[in-house]
Chain A
Amino acid sequence: MPTDFPERRRRLLFVAAALVVMVAALPLFVRDVYVQNILVLTLMYAALSQSWNILSGYCGQISLGHALYFGLGAYTSTILFTKFGVLPWFGMLGGGILSALIALALGYPCFRLRGHYFVIATIVIAETAYLLFLNWDWAGAALGINMRVRGDSWVTFQFARSKLPYFYFALGLAALTWLVTWALEESKWGYWWRAVKDNPEAAESLGVVVFHSKMAAAAVSAFFTAIGGSFYAQFVSYIDPDSVMSFHFSLLMALPAVLGGIGTLWGPALGAAILIPLTELTRSYVGGSGKGIDLIVYGALVMIIALARPEGLISLFAPRRRARVGK
C-alpha cells in the first residue's frame, strides 16, 4: 500500500487539472449571462468552502464566523481602492494578510475554547464585527460603499460588460485553494491538523504543538477567505455589511463542505457544485426575495446528509477506491 502512495497523489493532480480544463471550456457552451453568474458564484463558494475546510474540516475547529474574514477582504480592497486609489490586486493581498493577522489575534484567546464554546465564540465575534461596520461612518456604515468605476480592465479588475474575467479568476482561485489543500494534506501541518481534530491529548503526547497547529490553520484559512471577499467586492462592485459580512456567508462557506464531505479534498467543490446552483435556481424560480426558501433547502439538505451520509456525498465515491486499494 505505501508504495503506490505517491502515484495516487499524482493521479489526484491529473484529475484536478482535467477538471479545471473542462470547467474552463464551459463558457464556450454557456452564453447565458444568468447561468454564467451562477457558475462564478459556484466557483467562488468552492474556493471559500475549501478555505473554511482547512480550519474546520482538517483541523476540526468549526467556525461559523468566517463571514468576518470574507467581509474584511471585501472592505480592505474596496476602501483602499475608492479612498486611496490602491489597485484591487494589492488590496486583495492586503486584505488577505490583514485577515490572517486578525485570525491569529482572535485565535490566541479563542483556541483555548473547545467544541461548542469555540463555535459560539466565532459567531459572536463575526456578529460584533458586522455591527461595527454597520455603524462605522468612514467605512460607509449601513449605506455601504460603491466601487469607483474606471472602465473594463484587468488592471483595476473591473468588467461591466462580461462575466468571463470573473469566471476565470474564480476558477483560478478554486483551483489554487484546492492545490494548497492538496499540498498541505501531505505536509507536517496536514497530519498535525487531523491529529488535533481526532484527539488533541494524544496529539500532544506525540509532540504535536496543538495551539500552533490551530493558529496555522486559522491563518491560512482566513487568508484565502479574504481573497474570496475581495473578489466578490469586485464582482458585485457595491458592498455593505449585509452583503459581505452577514451570518448568511458563514453558513454558505460551511455548508458545501458539510454537504460534500468535511475534511476531504473534494468535498467542498462537490458540495458547492450542488448547493449553489440549487440555491440560485430556487431563488429565481420560487420567486420573491427567496430568502426563506433557500434556507429551507439548506436545512433539508443538511438533515438528509446527516441521516444518510454523515461523511458527506464524497463518501459515495469511496467504496470503489477502497476496493481498488484492497486488491
Chain B
Amino acid sequence: MTSEPILETRGVSHHFGGLVANRDISIAVARGEIVGLIGPNGAGKSTLFNLIAGVAPPTHGSIWFDGANVTALPATGRCRRGIARTFQVVKSFDGMSVIDNVIVGALVRAHSVRAARDHAVEVLQFTGLGQRAGALASELTPSEKRRLEIARALATAPKLLLLDEVLTGLTPAEAQRGVELVRAIRERGTTILMVEHVMEIVMPLVDRAIVLDLGSVLAEGKPADVVRNPAVISAYLGERHRARSA
C-alpha cells in the first residue's frame, strides 16, 4: 500500500440547487483496501458514491482513479477503466436470466460472447449463484438479487468495487455470508469501497472507515478508533449519548 492510492477525491463538492450534499471532500483509497463509507441518514454518502461511480460530475473538485483524472468520464467510461458498482435499490435486468445479466457485465472485457459466457459461469460459481444461472432474475429472492448485483459488477473485472448497502436488510446469516463474499473478493485483488448504514456489520469487515456527516468528512481511521470518536458518536446517536459514554 505504499504506491499511490487507487482512488482519490480532491476537494469534491456537490450541490443540488441550493442544497450542499458534499462539501470539500478529499478522501483516498489504497490498493487492496476495504474502506467503509459510513454516516447517518442524509450525510452525503450516496451522493459521494454516485460521484465516484460517474453518475454525474461533481460541482467542484476532481476525482482521480488509477493515476488518471476521471472527473469528466461518464459511468460507462469509468466501468471500462475498472470501477464497478452495485445499486442500493437493486436494478437487475428482470427480463433476462441470471447468467445473461452477468454476461452483460462480462462483455465489457470479453472478446466474444462465448468468452463472456464462460467468465459469467465462473463468476456465478464464485458468488454462490451457480445453481440459479438459468432462472429469470425476477424469480430470485431479495438476498439472491443482491448477490446478482455483485456478480454482475464483478464480471466487469473491476479494480475498484463500489458496494452500496449490500449488507443492509439481510438476515444475520445472509449478512455473514455477504461479509465472507466481500472478503473473498478482496482476496482476489479487488479494492472495495462500501457504503453502509449499519455500523456493527461493517466495522469488523473494513480496514478503515470514513465517516461523513452533513456533507463533510467527520472522521476517518481504524474502525476501533472511529467508533470511540466522540464526534462520531454524537453524530450517530445525538448529544445525550456522547455525554453518557464519555
Determine if chain A interacts with chain B.
yes
Nearest CB of chain A from residue B76's CB, rounded to whole Å: 5
Q: Pick the contact of A202 from B74, B91, B116, B134 — CB < 8 Å?
A: B91
Q: Pick the contact of A325 from B94, B134, B155 — CB < 8 Å?
A: B134
B104–A191 CB distance below 8 A: yes
A1–B134 CB distance below 8 A: yes
Which residues of chain B come closer than 8 Å to A210, judged between CB atoms?
Answer: 76
Interface positions of B from 91 to 119, Cβ below 8 Å from A: 91-96, 99-100, 103-105, 107-108, 113, 116-117
Nearest CB of chain A from residue B154's CB, rounded to whole Å: 11
B76–A194 CB distance below 8 A: no
Which residues of chain B come closer than 8 Å to A2, judged between CB atoms?
Answer: 99, 117, 121, 133
Assembled-state Cα–Cα distance A195/B92 (Å): 9
Q: Pick the contact of B53 from A5, A188, A205, A325 — CB < 8 Å?
A: A205
Q: Chain A: which residue is nearest B79 at the CB level? A: A207
- A5, A198, A201, A207 pick with most chain B CB within 10 angstroms: A207
Q: Pick the contact of B87 from A5, A195, A202 — CB < 8 Å?
A: A202
The yes or no answer to A266 lying at the interface (CB within 8 A) is: no
- Interface of chain A: mostly helix, strand, loop or mixed: helix
Given contacts A1-B134, A201-B91, contact A188 B96 (CB under 8 A): no
Assembled-state Cα–Cα distance A198/B108 (Å): 18
Assembled-state Cα–Cα distance A167/B134 (Å): 39
Interface size classification for chain B:
20 to 34
B113–A205 CB distance below 8 A: no
Assembled-state Cα–Cα distance A184/B227 (Å): 53
Taken residue by residue from 279 to 299, chain A's Cβ proximity to chain B (1 for < 8 Å, 0 otherwise) reads as 000000000000000000000
Q: Pick the contact of B103 from A191, A202, A203 — CB < 8 Å?
A: A191
The yes or no answer to A323 lying at the interface (CB within 8 A) is: no
The yes or no answer to B146 lying at the interface (CB within 8 A) is: no
Which residues of chain A come closer than 8 Å to B45, judged between CB atoms?
Answer: none
Which residues of chain B come closer than 8 Å to A208, judged between CB atoms?
Answer: 76, 104
Interface positions of B from 156 to 199, Cβ below 8 Å from A: 156
Taken residue by residue from 34 to 74, chain A's Cβ proximity to chain B (1 for < 8 Å, 0 otherwise) reads as 00000000000000000000000000000000000000000
- A2, A5, A192, A197 pick with most chain B CB within 10 angstroms: A2
B113–A186 CB distance below 8 A: yes
The yes or no answer to A153 lying at the interface (CB within 8 A) is: no
The yes or no answer to B14 lying at the interface (CB within 8 A) is: no
Nearest CB of chain A from residue B160's CB, rounded to whole Å: 13
The yes or no answer to A187 lying at the interface (CB within 8 A) is: yes
Interface positions of A from 1 to 22, Cβ below 8 Å from B: 1-2, 5
The yes or no answer to B85 lying at the interface (CB within 8 A) is: yes
Assembled-state Cα–Cα distance A233/B56 (Å): 49
A199–B117 CB distance below 8 A: no
The yes or no answer to B80 lying at the interface (CB within 8 A) is: yes
Q: Chain B: which residue is nearest A211 at the CB level? A: B76
- A187, A208, A209 pick with most chain B CB within 10 angstroms: A208
- A5, A192, A203, A206 pick with most chain B CB within 10 angstroms: A206
Nearest CB of chain B from residue A314's CB, rounded to whole Å: 14
A195–B76 CB distance below 8 A: no
B75–A191 CB distance below 8 A: no
Nearest CB of chain B from residue A195's CB, rounded to whole Å: 5
Given contacts A2-B133, A206-B105, A206-B156, contact A194 B96 (CB under 8 A): yes
Which residues of chain B come closer than 8 Å to A197, judged between CB atoms?
Answer: 95
Taken residue by residue from 71 to 89, chain B's Cβ proximity to chain A (1 for < 8 Å, 0 otherwise) reads as 0001110011000110100
B153–A194 CB distance below 8 A: no
The yes or no answer to B147 lying at the interface (CB within 8 A) is: no
B104–A192 CB distance below 8 A: yes
Nearest CB of chain A from residue B220's CB, rounded to whole Å: 26
A206–B74 CB distance below 8 A: no
Nearest CB of chain B from residue A307's CB, rounded to whole Å: 20
B134–A206 CB distance below 8 A: no
Q: Pick the contact of A191 from B76, B100, B134, B153 — CB < 8 Å?
A: B100
B79–A206 CB distance below 8 A: yes
Nearest CB of chain B from residue A223's CB, rounded to whole Å: 22
A1–B93 CB distance below 8 A: no
Q: Chain B: which residue is nearest A3 at the CB level? A: B121
B interface residues with partner A (beta carbon < 8 Å): 53, 74-76, 79-80, 84-85, 87, 91-96, 99-100, 103-105, 107-108, 113, 116-117, 121, 133-134, 152-153, 155-156
A interface residues with partner B (beta carbon < 8 Å): 1-2, 5, 186-188, 191-192, 194-195, 197-199, 201-210, 263, 325
Query: What are 25 A-B interface contacts by the 8 Å CB criterion?
Result: A2-B121, A2-B133, A187-B113, A188-B113, A191-B100, A194-B93, A194-B95, A194-B100, A195-B93, A195-B96, A197-B95, A199-B92, A201-B91, A202-B87, A203-B104, A204-B75, A204-B76, A205-B53, A205-B87, A206-B79, A206-B104, A206-B105, A207-B107, A208-B104, A209-B76
